[in-house]
Amino acid sequence: MKILILCTGNSCRSQMAHGFLQSFDDKLYVRSAGTHPAEHINPMAVSVMKEAGIDISDHIPVDVENYIDEPWDYVITVCSNADATCPSFKGRVGKRLHIGFDDPSKLSGTESYVTGEFRRVRDEIKNAFARFYLSEIKKVELPHCTCE
């Protein structure tokens, strides 16, 4: 199973999603990329992922053009900009999904506030990709929320 996760900078949200998804199943071929990749991964993303027991410190931002010719079972965008500007893939794409998250790297404020927001987004990514993994990859039927 080949999964590509896209964001704009490929420095934060897509890298966290990549880390979580790979941790769920090391048999998956997971890559992440950006439509306009940053120079390096966001240090706060590395830090909050370490807190969750996942080391993404060796990840580097990659341009989506590196993967454009490959076939993918899933291409998943995690930010609205990447969703809107997702390129047309020359290779086959089984399913294209959007699972969006706030961008904690754009925040300013106290260190405590910014760190808290990175943790919040990290946890949202973990939960959303766990649901994706269970429902799409493992084909486990999950209960629907009847919350208001």
Q: Which of 12, 79, 145, 147 is catalytic?
A: 79
Q: Which of 12, 86, 145, 147 is catalytic?
A: 86
Q: Is 86 a catalytic residue?
A: yes
Q: Is 79 a catalytic residue?
A: yes
Residue 95: phi and psi, rounded to 5, are: -140, 140
Q: Is 7 a catalytic residue?
A: yes
Beta bridge partners of 140: none
81-89: Cβ within 8 A, 24+ apart: 81/8, 81/35, 82/6, 82/7, 82/8, 82/14, 82/34, 82/35, 85/8, 85/35, 86/6, 86/35, 87/35
Tell me which residues are annotated as active site: 7, 79, 86
